[in-house]
Chain A
Amino acid sequence: MSYQCDPNNVLLESDLAIDHEIASGGEGIAYRLKSGKVYKKYKANRLNNQLIEKLTYLVSKKLNYTGISFPEKIVFSEDVPVGYVMPYASGKPMQTTIFIPSLLLKHFPDWNRINLANLCIDILDKIKYLHDNSILLGDINAQNILVHSDNKAYFVDTDSYQIGNHPCPVGQVLFVAPEIQGKNFNSFLRTKDHEAFAIGVLLFMVMHPGKHPFSYQGGGSPADNIKNGVFSYPFGEDVNYKSPQGPWEYIWHELPYYIKELFYNTFTNLKRASISDYHYAFMQYKEDLLSSKYNSDIMIMSTKISERKVSTSINRGGTAKSIGLGTTILNHKYGKKAVLELGTRSVKLLVNQVESGVFSFDNFIREGTVTNTGDGLDENNFMDETYFMDKVLPVIESMLRKAKQYNVGTIYSVATAAYRTAKNQKEVISWLKSHLGINVQVLSKVDEAQATLEAYLFSKDYNVNEHNNTLLIDQGGGSTEISLFRGSNMIKTFSSNIGTNTLKNIIIANFNASSSIAHVLAQCDSFARQKISYYAREKAFRDGVIDACIGVGTPITYATGKKGNKKQHGFEFTRRSLEDQIMYFETELTSQFSSIGHLFEYIEENMKLRGFATESMLVTRLGLPVYLAIMNVHNISTLTVSGTGLWYGIYAQHLKK
């Protein structure tokens, strides 16, 4: 058999001046030539026609890129091809330089994350060159990329690349996309999407030196883990508490949002990130590391903010209709009426002192205690009985005692997100009945929004223009409810899973105790913006101009700087003044606390005293960007604070004469 080869691309083995043997393996032997180049000689049966064709094609393309060892000349012995000559590649395989932390430290003792970012960028540049020339690596792995320095990686084994119709016949399980796991790689051509998975794995394993993205607690073999698709590292509210033990999750927690997002989307199969996505992100990361925005240590050790596995989806589930009836007669002899609001964050009591046709804050007595009831939900959204009995029930009991002292005859009790979400909701309601003798209505999201608007209308006592569009933003502990009203008729309601307690729990699940407060807040804002972007896509909210925007909830009332519902009521924020407040609270927190763990610890230990104010500052700082993002969606210039929350609406609906 003869081979069609450009004579200029051919060398005779007898003309080669071999200096020494570099390595030998299953495929053949590599020799260093006196010229400095490398000669790869295949074992007798390894060089089949398919491979010869591929090599001939590769050589004819005259590809030249520093750091990619393309075949330059085909070597013949007599008239039979036996191997090829390629440029020399220096360095050691990634497997033994980067993917074993103690060897990484040994080979590159001065490296930090800037070097890792450089290495990623260098590798991405080379892959881009290949893709631009319609070549896929196919078998991306840690053996065929050598690392000389952070800006000099060498790609070897280029004879396995997928080029034209020549498939890449091999693949390492760790880098193989789930949909082609276990397939015969010689039988099909890989796609860029397959390659994108492999690139994602490689970059993840550089960022978390040697740790595969699909290793997780309770996992099986790497192939099974990839096929099962369990990505265990937390991203916002997506938390499964299965990430591997050791430094890996601590490292993940310190990565910027824009890198986590690419990995998350790639490994949860939402969208595999492209080379340019990664390139852009790692350039940004490098810049941010240089300006000390992120921790540049390669191996990061920390502790957790809390050992508890908290719920990051307090607003899940619930029925379309409210459940149960809320009326309880405390004392037949008395005529006074009260509302008991069992929220995700607090327990509140509203007692009507004076019945009057005209609304006045002075007609009511208000009591409230922060219980963080939502914190009693475990990661599966079961309300923990011990937590509820210790932290919540005694507060409700004391509220009922107060109601009796105020001579309340009838009390109407409602419960919101934490109760709506609790998988053992019936049981929780039965605890309230059996221990305290009260009936509690668990509000549906729609009824909650309706009552909240009613509260505003009740207090404002204004004439509703039938055609006016009012947007109501209510951030509670478990969620942010956004409702659009035309006149007093609800047109549409949207529930976003970001409440003040949810945001705090997202922090617990997504960061290290040692994480900087600025890093945590910036990332929480990104999570919140991401959530609001789903809202922005809702068409029903985009019809017509918003005539009025009303804000309810702890963050917006606390941000007024005023004490008491009466003074908070009617306060107006512009987007600019909201931004100022966000900045103000951030500065307050970062100037007082060195890390997020420090802040949480302080709140935990001082909840009864100053810790409460600090906690309010934190939830306000976390919550305000949500209001701002919604204002931005509609280009709303002014938001009016309503001091009358849900409880007033419940009063107006059920108790007002």
Chain B
Amino acid sequence: MYDDYIIDRQKDLVENPTARLPICLVLDISGSMSGDPINELNRGVQEFFDAVLSDEVAKYSAEVAIVTFESSAAVELDFESIEKQRSKVRTLTTGGLTAMGSAVNMSLDLLERRKKEYQDAGVDYYQPWLVLMTDGAPTDEISYSANRCADLVNNRKLTVFPVGIGASADLTCLARFSPRTTPAKLNGVNFSAFFAWLSQSVSHVSQSTPGNFVALPPTSGWTSI
């Protein structure tokens, strides 16, 4: 059974010639996210998958992993062809603290491993994206993961999209992960708008060539000033 999964995953990897865009969603599901925020986040994630899947090019290019964090970090969804993932996207539930540092670390490990898989197989790829969303401040140590993340961004090996949710989101802290892009603040709980923008961005990039500069659509639809 597990062997079948591995063979299938490998088959998808090597038989699709499209350059891949690995995206890791690093999502805060701590206790404070309960209620509207988590419901809207769940809806946004589902819509994101649907939007990418409806795009003929993007669905062969985008690969998504989800890492969630509360008192600890966990891999919610590992990289795979997005068509196979659709049915595996579960509803997220909340509880606990905000282990952002270990979540980012875990995400970077996942991205690194996926990149290695691309290289080993001879699959072209775009430098990965990391979407970091939180409504609070980290409750674990972030120095190591923030530096690691910032180094990758500075070397143009990673693009980070830091997003703060609500009034208590610590944007200064988010900024430590993102030396190039200033953290943005989500307009209320309009996750839908954010994920629509993200899927459009994926669409733009997947139509480009790895290494070519791509301008992303304006963020005005989901940010609050």
Contacts and interface: CB of A to CB of B under 8 A. Distances in A.
A100 B119 contact: no
Interface in A204-259: 208-212, 215-223, 225, 232, 242-248
Interface stretch (B91-99, B194-202, B207-215): B207-215
A154 interface: no
A45 to B, nearest CB: 15
Contacts of A220: 119
Contacts of B10: 245
A171 to B, nearest CB: 9
Contacts of A11: none
B17 A212 contact: yes
Interface residues of B, number: 22
B123 interface: yes
Contact of A173 (B56, B57, B121, B210): B210
27 contacts: A96-B57, A100-B17, A100-B60, A101-B16, A102-B16, A172-B209, A174-B209, A208-B17, A209-B17, A211-B17, A215-B17, A215-B122, A217-B119, A217-B121, A218-B119, A218-B120, A219-B122, A219-B124, A221-B124, A222-B124, A225-B124, A242-B122, A244-B123, A245-B122, A246-B121, A247-B15, A248-B17
B216 interface: no
B169 interface: no
Nearest to A212: B124
A244 B18 CA distance: 13
Contacts of A222: 19, 124, 209-211
Contacts of B209: 172-174, 222
Contacts of A218: 119-120, 122
A325 interface: no
Interface in B95-146: 119-124
Contacts of A100: 16-18, 56-57, 60
A143 interface: yes
Given A215-B17, A217-B121, 20 more contacts: A95-B207, A96-B56, A100-B17, A100-B57, A101-B17, A173-B210, A211-B17, A215-B122, A215-B124, A216-B122, A217-B119, A220-B119, A221-B124, A225-B124, A244-B122, A244-B123, A245-B14, A246-B14, A246-B122, A299-B15
A334 B14 CA distance: 65
Interface string B77-96: 00000000000000000000
A579 to B, nearest CB: 42
A22 interface: no
Interface in B141-177: none
Given A215-B123, A222-B124, A173 B17 contact: no
A103 interface: yes
A99 interface: yes
B119 A103 contact: no
A173 B126 CA distance: 13
The 4 closest A-B pairs by CB, nearest first: A244-B122, A246-B14, A210-B17, A211-B17
A244 B14 contact: yes
Interface in B46-67: 56-57, 60
B121 A244 contact: yes
B119 A219 contact: yes
